[in-house]
Structure 1
Amino acid sequence: MPVKFSTIAFDADDTLWENEAFFRLTQERFADLLADYTERDHLAERLLDAERRNLGQYGFGIKGFVLSMIETAIDVTDEKVPASVIRTLIEAGQDMLQHPIHLLEGVEETVRALASSYDLLLVTKGDLLDQERKLAQSGLGDLFDGVEIVSDKTANVYSGIFDRRGIAPAEAMMIGNSMKSDVIPPIDAGAWGVYVPHGHTWELEHAAPPAHHPQYRSVENLGEIPGLLSEIQTSA
């Protein structure tokens, strides 16, 4: 049966613009601040555990990351962490929230090219204010027909978005760097999922690819998306 796409959906962080790299830089700073209390590898494990544990309360994004760093700092120092370290962690989070946007290579050209032929949707999770800020600074906002900022990305969340917007899942393609959030759930909801690798992807976003699913694809960069769309629609 021929495939005709109507909607192309994009993840935001580390798909359209850099994000995880700034988290890692802050985490290095965090490790430096606590070097007198614990080894770096142990600290990274404790922080990841805290982030995993706190997702249900804080959600995704910088604010939850900062709170998890503070909690970890208190735990690994047996509540002896200096107030100056807590202040520095808060300031680091504020710096992240004000960091300018850096679009990834080929993003603007690809998004503009697709906007003339498809409805474009941005589906991103994280803090509402921060995601709105980044989209506004990106210069891409006017190219999207819709924006969905969600607390998590599950098959039910994608199904709800498709239903609410009157999108046939089989005519939708979701593109992103997270196998766990951007590829597997939309496929489970009946859409296509395209994986675009990024050099830095948060450990909690890793998952095994659905390699044999007919609606799964992967590309090396966003510049390959127009060709992929043409290939799928002409070969079906």
Structure 2
Amino acid sequence: MRLENKIALVTGASGGLGGGICRAFAQQGADCVVAYHSKRSAAEETAATVKSYGRRALLCQADISQESEVKSMVQQALDTFGRLDILVANAGLGICKPLMQTSLEDFEQLIRVNLIGTYLTVRHGAEPMLQQRAGKVITMSSVHGLGGSHWACLYEATKAGIANFTRGAAFDLAEYNIQINAIAPGAVPVPNDPPPDPDSELHQAWINYTPCGRFGTPADVAAGAVYLASSDSDWVTGQVLSIDGGITAGPLIPSFIHYGPKPKM
């Protein structure tokens, strides 16, 4: 097993991507800190899945935008498991609106969760790794952090920020033998963000534009996370791994605004 007896902390573990990452880590032999914000029942399901593979799971509630709660989350992990080998800063927020319908509050909320939350998670989650002189850190960007499209400029700004934060942090962490990389998922339907109606033009447009010809799954993203969390990636740091079915292989990220009603500006 590629992660045998490793200790992993995954934020946003009550969601589809975070839950899928915990499942894959447990399958590969890791114990997991299942961190969540508000969806306890979903987090409990993730923890139960981890345990079903014979691994240990610790439920931990935290608001990643609050430094005191992030510090407490990391300390709980250390108190329970004694160390931290893998950190996945997966928790995030999506707000997609046309620019002229957005507010300062929208942008501040995205910055607080996506950018500051990622920073706090990495800043304090990497702390025990410094003493260990070893660790794997994974952040969660997006294909929307690699280019622009309709209705997502604020979200895209934060996801682009995560990508460049990751690149810069790689320089600071490398001397401690800590690798940090980002994942940029494409269209991966999850329970709180389901796919378009299969009979809709929008659904077919996504399928046609994606070279692999299908939507992604949490397992697709989790497979990339396992690679970045394992010793296979020891000479990989500061990179953004697009897991998107090939959608960013072309010159532009597609914009499907014409497949739905256009909001009034």
Tell me which interval the TM-score lies in, with the shorter structure as reference length.
0.3 to 0.5
TM-score, length-normalised on structure 2? 0.41
Bigger Rg, structure 1 or 2: 1
The structure where helix makes up a greater share of residues is: 1
